């Protein structure tokens, strides 16, 4: 789909599908309605005065302009009151328009971008938001369907702007939005893919391919190398599977940068639970237990293409957690990369075992300014926050504040949970340095308390995306299944990094 910003009006061209946002408050609408031919404005007015369309959020109105403008369809999207209109409501209105355009089999679409409160967001930010939402709303995971595919018919999206200066600024935002949306779609594709397709070596292949395409470095450590390095978490979690583990390293290093950031992504390509096997209901969802790793790949891809001035390292311990005669067992004691020992109380708490190795590797090898890990780590975080916020815990308040703000902007919201030292007691072991489960209460927190032991001297933030990575219900621009969470959040955070 081609997206452009143009200083045209609805009167100047025939699109297959024209769309427009209106607010509940009349005053804000007046300027928008003034640009329409009176005959068309009257149709909207009729719907308003009958009470059929009051422009509440999520309300829509479909009009056949019948020559009053050259376009054959006009879709009006309600946005609520203008003072409650946010950047994300803008994303949602754009997404609603695109999805409707697709159901109409439209090829050319125009969207009149509503005015946000003056100065609240830059034209670039607005254009990026609309672009991301438009593209992501049309995402479909249909690579495995041989019939009933419904590919999008939309070939072009025109954004109407007032003047040439705004159009120039829009073009930058559109370009960034396209790059980011592609990376998010890539992350969704990886996380949605079946476990029979994406296992450690094929995840590594994808990472390598991605790295080549955007000019960054990829190194993949195989089982022998992982063993040599002493990554006992990765080896032990991976040893029940016929698919050997991999340790994926991506590195983007521009000529000039201020900070070095290490991203660590959980890459469990399928989590059966291992010997502590999960119940079979919905176990198939555990193919996306590598979403954190997929988000790391997507983020590096976007950051490299946007040429951000940050030294970025991506580390993905990739394993398949399976029960078998060779699998790690409850009661086993393993030695992690940093030399600490872990009592494996439950083989289903596998994510933290592989992340422990990756975190201490990140800290010891790269001495980054901060480590941020993303992991579908606990069911407990879903109990605590549901699907609308990522759990955030860590040792670096400054980074957490920055992530909170990036989360509010992108609407990939994060919510901090405490990491008081009192929780450490729950993961003490009688026989090893730590154990991998902390009992019934505060499961998302004790998981983070476990990880904290492996962060070396580094500043660190942990993002538990178990609830936000996989949606049971579609949103405007996030379909059912893998959400691609983390990419937009981290790109925004890294862009603002000083």
Known catalytic residues? 278, 352
Say how far apart CA 488 and CA 174 lie, in whole Å. 14
Alpha helices, DSSP H, located in 63-161:
87-103, 123-137
Backbone φ and ψ of 98, nearest 5°: -65, -40
* DSSP secondary structure code for residue 428 in this structure: B
Q: Among residue numbers 240 through 279, which ones bind ligand BES (CB under 6 A)?
A: 271
**Region binding ligand BES by CB under 6 A among candidate stretches 16-24, 188-196, 329-337, 376-384:** 376-384
Q: Is 231 exposed, middle or buried (0-12, 13-18, 19+ CB in 10 A)?
A: buried
Choose among 264, 465, 436, 459: nearest CA to 378. 465
User: Which lies closer to ligand BES via its Cβ, residue 123 or residue 479?
Assistant: 479
In the complex, least distance from residue 411 CB atom to ligand BES, rounded to whole angstroms: 21
Q: Among residue numbers 436 through 455, which ones bind ligand BES (CB under 6 A)?
A: 437, 443
DSSP 238-282: HTTSSSPPEEEEEEE--SS-S-EEEEEE-EEEEE--TTSPPPSTT
Cα-to-chain-centroid distance, residue 54: 33
In the stretch 1-40, what mask flags binding to ligand BES with x, by CB under 6 A? ----------------------------------------
| Contacted by 466, from Mn ion, Zn ion, ligand BES, none: CB < 5 to 8 Å by type | ligand BES
Q: Among residue numbers 120 through 179, which ones bind ligand BES (CB under 6 A)?
A: none
In the stretch 57-76, what mask flags binding to Mn ion with x, by CB under 5 A? --------------------
Say how far apart CA 87 and CA 207 lie, in whole Å. 32
Contact between 198 and 491 (Cβ < 8 Å): no
Choose among 221, 403, 440: nearest CA to 319. 221
Which residue from 108, 378, 399, 426 is in contact with ligand BES, where contact means CB under 6 A? 378
Residue bearing tokens 């991999």: 246
Is 348 a residue that touches Mn ion (CB under 5 A)?
yes
User: Which lies closer to ligand BES via its Cβ, residue 218 or residue 349?
Assistant: 349
Say how far apart CA 110 and CA 101 lie, in whole Å. 10
Which residue from 95, 349, 371, 385 is in contact with ligand BES, where contact means CB under 6 A? 349
Strands laid side by side in the 156-160 sheet: 2-6, 156-160, 108-112, 17-22, 74-78, 60-63
Number of chain positions touching Mn ion (CB under 5 A): 2
In the complex, least distance from residue 443 CB atom to ligand BES, rounded to whole angstroms: 6
**Region binding Zn ion by CB under 5 A among candidate stretches 106-114, 140-148, 281-289, 468-476:** 281-289
Q: Is 326 helix (H, G, I), strand (E, B) or coil?
A: coil
**Region binding ligand BES by CB under 6 A among candidate stretches 22-30, 89-97, 250-258, 343-351:** 343-351
Contact between 313 and 362 (Cβ < 8 Å): yes
User: Which lies closer to Zn ion via its Cβ, residue 310 or residue 485?
Assistant: 485
CA 4-127-71 angle, 5° bins: 45
Is 132 a residue that touches Mn ion (CB under 5 A)?
no
Q: 301: how many CB neighbours lie within 10 A of its CB?
A: 28
| Contacted by 197, from Zn ion, Mn ion, ligand BES, none: CB < 5 to 8 Å by type | none
In the complex, least distance from residue 288 CB atom to Mn ion, rounded to whole angstroms: 12
User: Which lies closer to Zn ion via its Cβ, residue 5 or residue 268?
Assistant: 268
Residues forming beta bridges with residue 247, ordered by sequence position: 221, 317
Q: Two tokens at 225?
A: 């190398």
Q: Among residue numbers 288 through 317, which ones bind Mn ion (CB under 5 A)?
A: none
* C-alpha separations of 122 from 29, 128, 168, 170, 417 in Å: 21, 10, 12, 9, 32
Say how far apart CA 419 and CA 98 lie, in whole Å. 42
Is 351 a residue that touches Zn ion (CB under 5 A)?
yes
Is 351 a residue that touches ligand BES (CB under 6 A)?
yes
Q: What is the dihedral of CA 84, 89, 90, 96, to 10 degrees?
A: -140
Is 412 a residue that touches Mn ion (CB under 5 A)?
no
Say how far apart CA 286 and CA 267 lie, in whole Å. 11
Number of chain positions touching ligand BES (CB under 6 A): 16
Q: Among residue numbers 271 through 290, which ones bind Mn ion (CB under 5 A)?
A: 271
Is 350 a residue that touches ligand BES (CB under 6 A)?
yes
Is 376 a residue that touches ligand BES (CB under 6 A)?
yes
| Contacted by 218, from Mn ion, ligand BES, Zn ion, none: CB < 5 to 8 Å by type | none
In the complex, least distance from residue 261 CB atom to ligand BES, rounded to whole angstroms: 24
Is 379 a residue that touches ligand BES (CB under 6 A)?
yes
User: Which lies closer to Zn ion via its Cβ, residue 321 or residue 336?
Assistant: 321
| Contacted by 180, from ligand BES, Mn ion, Zn ion, none: CB < 5 to 8 Å by type | none
Q: Two tokens at 158?
A: 């025109």
Say how far apart CA 112 and CA 158 lie, in whole Å. 8
User: Which lies closer to ligand BES via its Cβ, residue 91 or residue 243?
Assistant: 243
- Footprint of Zn ion (CB under 5 A): 268, 271, 289, 351
- Footprint of Mn ion (CB under 5 A): 271, 348
- Footprint of ligand BES (CB under 6 A): 271, 289, 346, 348-351, 376-380, 382, 437, 443, 466
């Amino acid at each position: 789909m081609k997206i452009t910003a143009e200083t045209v009006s609805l009167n100047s061209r025939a699109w297959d599908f024209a769309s427009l946002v209106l607010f509940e408050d009349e005053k804000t609408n007046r300027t928008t309605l003034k640009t329409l031919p009176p005959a068309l404005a009257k149709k909207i007015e009729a719907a308003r005065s009958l009470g059929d369309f009051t422009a509440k959020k999520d309300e829509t109105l479909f009009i056949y302009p019948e020559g009053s403008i050259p376009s054959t369809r006009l879709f009006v999207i309600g946005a609520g009151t203008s003072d409650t209109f946010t950047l994300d409501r803008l994303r949602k209105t754009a997404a609603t328009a695109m999805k409707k355009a697709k159901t109409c089999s439209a090829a050319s679409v125009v969207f009149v971008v509503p005015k946000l409160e003056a100065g609240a967001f830059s034209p670039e930010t607005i254009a990026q938001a609309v672009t991301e939402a438009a593209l992501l709303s049309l995402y479909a995971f249909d690579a495995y369907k041989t019939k009933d595919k419904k590919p999008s018919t939309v070939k072009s999206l025109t954004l109407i702007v007032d003047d040439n200066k705004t159009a120039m600024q829009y073009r930058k935002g559109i370009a960034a939005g396209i790059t980011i949306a592609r990376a998010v779609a890539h992350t969704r594709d990886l996380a949605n893919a079946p476990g029979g397709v994406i296992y450690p070596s094929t995840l590594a292949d994808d990472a390598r391919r991605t790295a080549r395409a955007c000019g960054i470095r990829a190194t993949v450590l195989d089982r022998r190398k992982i063993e040599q390095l002493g990554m006992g978490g990765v080896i032990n979690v991976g040893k029940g599977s016929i698919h050997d583990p991999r340790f994926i390293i991506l590195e983007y290093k521009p000529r000039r940068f201020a900070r070095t950031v290490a991203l660590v992504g959980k890459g469990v390509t399928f989590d059966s639970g291992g010997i502590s096997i999960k119940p079979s209901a919905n176990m198939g969802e555990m193919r996306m237990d590598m979403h954190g790793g997929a988000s790391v790949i997507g983020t590096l891809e976007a950051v490299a293409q946007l040429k951000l001035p940050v030294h970025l390292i991506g580390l993905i311990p990739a394993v398949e957690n399976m029960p078998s005669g060779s699998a790690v067992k409850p009661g086993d004691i393993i030695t992690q990369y940093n030399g600490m020992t872990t009592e494996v109380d439950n083989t289903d708490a596998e994510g933290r075992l592989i992340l422990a190795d990756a975190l201490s590797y990140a800290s010891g090898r790269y001495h980054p300014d901060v480590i941020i890990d993303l992991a579908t780590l606990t069911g407990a975080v879903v109990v605590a926050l549901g699907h609308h916020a990522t759990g955030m815990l860590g040792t670096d308040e400054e980074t957490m504040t920055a992530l909170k703000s990036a989360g509010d902007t992108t609407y990939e919201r994060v919510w901090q949970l405490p990491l008081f030292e009192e929780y450490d007691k729950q993961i003490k072991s009688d026989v090893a340095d730590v154990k991998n489960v902390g009992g019934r209460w505060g499961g998302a927190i004790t998981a983070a308390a476990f990880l904290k032991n492996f962060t070396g001297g580094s500043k660190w933030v942990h993002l538990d995306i178990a609830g936000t990575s996989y949606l049971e219900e579609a949103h405007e621009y996030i379909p059912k299944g893998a959400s691609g969470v983390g990419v937009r959040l981290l790109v925004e955070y890294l862009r603002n990094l000083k």
